[in-house]
Amino acid sequence: MFGIYLKRELGRRKKAALVIALGLALGIALVITVNSVSAGMTQAQDKVLKSLYGLGTDMTVTKAQAAPTSGSSGGPRFNFDAKSSSSSTQSSDRVNTQGGQALASSLVTKVAAQKGVSSAVGALTLNVTKVDGSFTQGKAQSSTSGSSQQGGPGGGNSGSTGQPQVQGGGASFDVNSYSVAGIDVSNQDLGPLATSKITSGKTFTSAQTNSKVAVVSKSYAKEKKYKVGSTFKISGTKFTVIGIATPDSSESTTDVFVPLKQAQTLGDSKNKVTTIYVKATDSQQISTVKSTIQKNISGTTVTTSADLASTVSGSLSTASDLATSVGKWLSVAVLVAAFLVAALLTSSAVSRRVREFGTLKALGWPSRKVTRQVVGESMVNGLIGGALGIALGLAAAYTVTVISPKLTAQLGSTGGGGGAGGGPGGGGPGRQSTASTMEIALSAPVSLTTIALAVGLAVTGGLIAGAMGGWRASRMRPADALRSVS
């Protein structure tokens, strides 16, 4: 009886049911769209942070660079042999650590032993400034000029010689600055190399802890025309390229990867690291782990993904802020309005059915049965609205994903701090700590949680509308039906 009557009444009031369902559908579709776009923003920000951090890394431990002592030179120095009388080629490498003050390698084990830490590895970041060129020694030439001068009895002539002048000579040098990262080859899931995939050759093996081998980034290999098997030198040490690494989401800030022990030798930093990469056992307890490390290991700086997120600016950050604040509040406002409209329309429809409900009560229907009938009709309207809203929301999310609007993310201070080269007569610039810009394609993934939320909102909307309409219907009396007869 309930189902038959429900079907008949909905069939009689198709337009009213469709209006209520569409109102709920628009609100639910907006909620799905905003949640999906927000999820896409989160994914985009994660890509940006992983390009800085490394896949699987939850935080990093570093130490601020110490202030230079009085009288010390902050820039690199290059010494060349310029005694040759002929043109000769000169080459010199300046290797210095970057990314903060060096930490003792023993701290890696200490960090890994902290409560809440799953694993920790150390890495040493170097900046290499290579100067290549040649000196040409100039030649001194003198000029002689004759003049006639009257002097003494009988007069006479005398000749004068001008000051000698250096002609020719000079110097021509090329300056190349690049970054080198020493990584722990026994755990490559954390650290600088974790942001890249080996697309040519192979990565390090656990037996190559002190081997003279290197993995180079794709862009640097293209610039230097390196291939697997190519060789190059850093401060006189010859390295063989065993692999080419392609970044997962952005251009890597590291050009060359070598085993940690080799990097420590190059940088004269035995048993030292500049960064400790940390993975937490529980991603929800990162802030707690950060506090534990800072408390137990003094003098260090612990940086989490939340800290890095504050350095990301650009259209990605602006759009994320809008989606979080304006978008969510707008969707809530529209959803509340849709619920109210559905409730008012249901209540208005009940008021036009005075004769019907009054007659049913006169036939013996109790108030609870009348209320159940109205709530049942509202629930069906809510479910229809939910289905339409999910369809509209999925269509909107799919449209955003297909269009894939481009957003930019500017990362503050992501480069390595290089020094300035100092040769005779000045030096060439090293790689400076600058902001880099990434371009991210926005998508709008729809999760099962979002779908479940939409269904819940549809049921909630139907219950709210049915509650108001049912309450009004339950207050009707059989006499109301008689008074409505003209």
The pLDDT, as a whole number, for residue 434 is: 42
φ/ψ (deg, to 5) at 321: -65, -40
Nearest alpha carbon to residue 188 among 110, 105, 114, 259:
259
Residue 375 sits at the vertex; the CA angle it makes with 1 and 337, to the nearest 5 degrees, is: 150
Nearest alpha carbon to residue 61 among 173, 189, 191:
191
Q: How far is CA 57 from CA 51, 191, 261, in A?
A: 11, 7, 22
What SS3 string covers 401-438? HHHCCEEEEEECCCCCCCCCCCECCECCCCCCCCCEEE
Measured distance CA(421)–CA(173) in Å, rounded: 11
Q: Is the pLDDT of residue 436 over 50?
A: yes
Q: Between 185 and 42, whose confidence is greater?
A: 185
Could you tell me where the beta strands, DSSP code E, fall in 64-116? 88-97, 103-104
The one-letter amino acid at 45:
Q
The one-letter amino acid at 25:
A
Highest mean pLDDT among 137-146, 339-348, 406-415: 339-348
Average pLDDT estimate for 430-449: 65
Measured distance CA(128)–CA(433) in Å, rounded: 14
Q: Where does the pLDDT of residue 212 fall: very low under 50, low under 70, confident under 90, or very high at 90 and above?
A: very high
Q: Which residues contact 130 (CB under 8 A, 6 or more apart)?
A: 91, 92, 93, 94, 175, 176, 177, 178
The answer to whether 213 and 198 are in contact (CB under 8 A) is: no
The pLDDT, as a whole number, for residue 417 is: 35
For every residue of 114-160, DSSP letters joined together read STTEEEEEEEEEEEEEEEEEEEE--EEE--EEEEEE--STT-EEEEE
Q: Is the pLDDT of residue 335 over 50?
A: yes
The pLDDT, as a whole number, for residue 242 is: 96
Q: Is the pLDDT of residue 428 over 50?
A: no
Q: What's the CA dihedral at 468, 474, 478, 484 to 10 degrees?
A: 0
Percent of the chain residues past pLDDT 90, beyond the cut: 20
Q: Is the pLDDT of residue 2 over 70?
A: no
Residue with tokens 């100039």: 138
Q: How far is CA 189 from CA 67, 122, 195, 274, in A?
A: 33, 12, 9, 18
What SS3 string covers 212-226? CEEEEEHHHHHHHCC
φ/ψ (deg, to 5) at 98: -140, 165
Q: Where does the pLDDT of residue 414 fall: very low under 50, low under 70, confident under 90, or very high at 90 and above?
A: very low
Question: Which structure tokens are listed for 126?
Answer: 């170097």
What is the Cα 371 distance to its own chain's centre? 54
Say which range, 74-88, 356-370, 387-401, has the weakest mean pLDDT.
74-88
What's the burial of 269, exposed, middle or buried (CB within 10 Å: 0-12/13-18/19+)? buried
The string of pLDDT tens digits covering residues 465-479 is 777 777 776 666 666
The one-letter amino acid at 412:
G
Q: Is 379 left (phi over 0), alpha (psi -120 to 50) or beta?
A: alpha
The answer to whether 443 and 47 are in contact (CB under 8 A) is: no
Question: Which structure tokens are listed for 123?
Answer: 């890495």
φ/ψ (deg, to 5) at 149: -135, 135
Measured distance CA(334)–CA(14) in Å, rounded: 23
The pLDDT, as a whole number, for residue 413 is: 47
Q: Where does the pLDDT of residue 113 fall: very low under 50, low under 70, confident under 90, or very high at 90 and above?
A: very high
Question: Which structure tokens are listed for 476?
Answer: 């009707």
Measured distance CA(179)–CA(125) in Å, rounded: 7
Q: Which residues contact 345 (CB under 8 A, 6 or more apart)?
A: 16, 19, 20, 23, 465
The answer to whether 289 and 111 are in contact (CB under 8 A) is: no
The one-letter amino acid at 224:
K
Highest mean pLDDT among 90-94, 331-335, 394-398, 429-433: 394-398
Q: Is the pLDDT of residue 115 over 70?
A: yes
The string of pLDDT tens digits covering residues 38-86 is 777 777 766 666 555 554 677 888 887 665 555 545 555 555 555 554 4
Q: Is the pLDDT of residue 446 over 80?
A: yes
pTM reported for the whole predicted model: 0.55
Q: Is 247 left (phi over 0), alpha (psi -120 to 50) or beta?
A: beta
Helices (H), 54-117: 106-112
Residue 374's CB is within 10 A of a number of other CB atoms, namely 26
Q: Where does the pLDDT of residue 284 fall: very low under 50, low under 70, confident under 90, or very high at 90 and above?
A: confident
Average pLDDT estimate for 316-323: 57
| SS3 category, 257 | strand
The string of pLDDT tens digits covering residues 14-48 is 777 787 788 888 888 888 888 888 777 777 766 66
